[in-house]
A and B are shown apart, each in its own frame.
Chain A
Amino acid sequence: NFMLTQPHSVSESPGKTVTISCTRSSGNIASNYVHWYQQRPGSSPTLLIYEDYRRPSGVPDRFSGSIDSSSKSASLTISGLKTEDEADYYCQSYDNNTPYVFGTGTKVTVL
Chain B
Amino acid sequence: EVHLVESGGGLVEPGGSLRLSCAASGFSFSSYSMTWVRQAPGKGLEWVSSISSTDRYIYYVDSVKGRFTISRDNAENSVFLQMNGLRTEDTAVYYCGRKYSGSQGIDYWGQGTLVTVSS
Partner-B contacts on A (CB < 8 A): 32-33, 35, 37, 39, 44-47, 50-51, 56, 88, 90, 92-94, 98-105
The smallest beta-carbon distance between B89 and chain A, in angstroms, is 17
Whether the Cβ atoms of A94 and B111 lie closer than 8 Å is no
Q: List 22 A-B contacts (CB under 8 A).
A: A32-B103, A33-B104, A35-B106, A44-B109, A44-B110, A44-B111, A45-B37, A45-B95, A47-B105, A47-B106, A50-B102, A50-B103, A50-B105, A56-B107, A92-B45, A98-B59, A98-B61, A99-B59, A100-B50, A100-B106, A102-B46, A102-B47
Binary flags per residue of B26-54, CB closer than 8 Å to A gives 1, else 0 = 00000000010100000011110010000
Interchain pairs with CB closer than 8 A, number: 70
For A36, give the chain B residue with the smallest CB separation.
B105
Whether the Cβ atoms of A51 and B102 lie closer than 8 Å is yes
Whether the Cβ atoms of B45 and A45 lie closer than 8 Å is yes
Known contacts A44-B95, A92-B105, A100 near B100 by CB under 8 Å: no
Other A-B contacts than A35-B106, A45-B37, A99-B50, 15 sampled, CB-CB below 8 A, are: A32-B103, A32-B104, A33-B103, A37-B45, A39-B45, A45-B109, A47-B106, A90-B44, A93-B104, A94-B103, A98-B59, A102-B44, A102-B47, A104-B44, A105-B45
